[in-house]
Amino acid sequence: MKSKFPMSLHLAISLAWMVIALYLIFLYAPEEMTMGEVQRIFYIHFSLAMTALFAYFFVFLGSIGYLWKRARGADDFAYACAEVGFVYCCGVLVTGPLWAKPVWGIWWTWDARLTSTFILWLLYIAYLMLRAYVSSPGRVESLAAVVGTLGFITSIVDYMAIRWWRTQHPQPVIGGGTDSGLEPSMWVTTFVTWGALLCLFFYLVRLRTAIARTRRAVSIARQQMAA
Amino acid sequence: MKDLRVEWRSREALSAMCVFGILVVFLFNFSFNTGREESLRMLPGLLWIAFAFAGVLGFNRSFAAERENGCIEALTLAPVDAGAIFAGKLLANLVFLGIAEAVVVFACALWYNFSFIPVLVPFCAIVLLGTLGYAALGTIFGAVAANTRMREVMLPVLQFPVAFWILVLASDASADALRGAPAVTIRGGIERVGGVSLVFTVASFLLFEYVLEE
């Protein structure tokens, strides 16, 4: 597929956007009052987390698309989103503790959001491991799509259940989030960073999809040569 | 249906599930080495961990057996709905896991001197609903995992993250029931477990045909 939007341009925009985001994070956004410099990791952390969440939704869309239309492209898309989303999710789990330790005094707590992010991470692992281990050729796509769909249902259940669970076990409120009352300049920084990481995400997904397509073309060509 | 009869003749997986469940309780008891009070507090969680592990053992068997002698191809060729195959498998898994659960609960009642009789009705409702969702996921993931290398490893990797909430909500609700919490609290717990279980059961039922097809 020849897209109107060249890959190299996409990469260039992603990188330039990242540079702008970094400028905003470190030089433009004001220092947070209580948390100090550490808070600047929030911009990356939040953007990674939101993208990782959306990525699983894309996995679901690709999976449903495959089951419905049997389109190879949908499966490639789901696989690519899962791989890149997993990397982003790992990023969330790395930047989170780095921020939590100085601010909360602990690396990790089984708080609602942390738990659901961890489950998301496990769901990514389940999906990717399945794709790596399926032994019957030609079955990978539909099996992965089934797991991708059930995984997405899990993340919805997750969203509801975490509220029931937490209302049953009230926990002491730990630390103050920055969610309430962000400075306008902080909002700008947040959204520019998120945009940059989304742009990079789609670049990586396109790259990964292109690789999958090439690989399939090669294997078909090889079969034809053998025949 | 067929599964029940075949399994009943050998009782291979069933006895393995029961023994495994009891072993989990036994190991937990000694690795934590707690007093009676502590143990009773941990009992609901312990029960569900035992159920979960025993279940995974059984679900692995349910499709592995079909795979070994190529029965799965025959099953897919047979003029029955994928839904019917799913229902049959689910029923077999439910019955086996149910028997294993009864054995584990009996062992716990004995070892911890805890009488389940006064709380039997709500407790059974929770176990039944939780097991339904858990077994439904186990049935579909068992079928998925049967297509992979290292399926014994693959099944828990798929099953546990997805079934996480069934287990958490079920052990929460069981804790309320065993503690003798007010009826409203227990009913809320049962509704939550039932709701989540139902969602996963329906989803597994609908997706099952895509697992079977060639």
> pLDDT-based confidence at A89, cuts 50/70/90?
very high
Tell me the pTM: 0.84
- The answer, yes or no, to whether residue A174 has pLDDT greater than 50, is no
Percent of chain A having pLDDT more than 70? 89
Please check whether residue B113 touches A, CB under 8 A.
no
Low-confidence ranges of chain B (pLDDT < 70): 1-11, 65-80, 214
Would you call A154 and B160 a contact, using CB atoms and an 8 Å cutoff? no
CB contact under 8 A, A126 and B165: no
pLDDT at residue A223 is higher than 60? yes
CA atoms of B94 and B90, how far apart (whole Å): 6
Count how many pairs of residues, chain A against chain B, have C-beta atoms within 8 Å: 85
Question: Per the domain annotation, does A32 fall within a domain?
Answer: no
A22 in any annotated domain: yes
Domain annotation covers residue A76? yes
Each residue of B10-63: pLDDT tens digit?
Answer: 567 788 888 888 998 888 888 877 777 777 788 888 899 999 999 998 888 877
Answer whether residue A69 is part of any domain: yes
Q: Answer whether residue A175 is part of any domain.
A: no
Q: What's residue A167's pLDDT?
A: 53
Question: Which residues of chain B from 164 to 183 reach within 8 Å of chain A, CB to CB?
Answer: 164-165, 168-169, 172
> B203–A149: do the CB atoms touch at under 8 Å?
yes
Q: What is the pLDDT of residue B133?
A: 93
* Amino acid letter for position A153: I
In a domain, A213, yes or no: yes
Could you report the per-residue pLDDT of A103-116, keeping only the tens digit for each?
778 888 777 778 88
Tokens 């707590």 — which residue? A109
| Residue A176 located in a structural domain | no
CB contact under 8 A, A153 and B200: yes
- Looking at the structure of chain A, the number of domains it has is 1
Q: Domains in chain B: how many in total?
A: 1
Both structure tokens of B67? 């795979």
Model ipTM? 0.83
Q: At what angle do helices A184-226 and A7-23 cross, to 10 degrees?
A: 150
Q: How far apart are CA B1 and CA A183, in angstroms?
A: 64
Spatial separation of the C-alpha atoms in residues A139 and A131, rounded to whole Å: 10
| CA–CA dist B123, B58 (Å, integer) | 23
B62 lies within 8 A of chain A by CB: no
Q: How far apart are CA A11 and CA A202, in angstroms?
A: 10
Give the three-state DSSP class for B33.
coil
Domain housing B192: 2-212
User: How far, in whole angstroms, is CA A219 from its chain's centroid?
Assistant: 30
Residue A33 included in any domain: no
- Which residue range forms the structural domain that includes residue A135? 7-27+41-169+184-226
Q: Which residues contact B128 (CB under 8 A, 6 or more apart)?
A: B98
